[in-house]
Amino acid sequence: MTDEGLIRIVCIEDDPKTIDLVKLILRREGFDVTGISNGRDGLAAIEQVQPHLVLLDLMMPDMDGWEVYQAMRAHESMKEIPVIVLTAKAQSIDKVLGLHIAKVNDYITKPFSPTELVRSVRKVLDEASAG
């Protein structure tokens, strides 16, 4: 926790509108949100911010979300940070692969509702603090 007690979240997403939406929703709930528009800068931001949670888009041009996720899991200072995947890929096989094989903490398909986003973030943070 920071001195202010804020929960830090890094959102790595190549669509600026989605970043703005996530910031709007989660800041209203009292979270400190940093938005990053590509995978490489996202990894640097995670290392710098040391967030409590990462929201990660899968489909990005320079370094996709799975590459970012694998890099996080291979890095000592990032491997325990919970990850919620944000993706437009709604097929159930992707969800099964994401949650069970890669062990992401949750999976939200776009478009999502503000309620769905907040519920997922709170659930994952509660699980992380209990674990």
Band of the pLDDT at 128, cuts 50, 70, 90?
very high
> CA-CA distance, 30 to 28, in Å (whole number)?
5
Q: Mean pLDDT for the chain?
A: 89
Predicted TM-score of the model (pTM): 0.90
**What angle, 0 to 180 degrees and rounded to 10, lies between the N-to-C axes of helices 114-130 and 16-28?**
70
Domains of the chain: 8-126 (3.40.50.2300)
pLDDT (tens digit, 9 = 90+) per residue, 73-112?
999 999 999 999 888 766 556 665 665 667 789 988 888 9
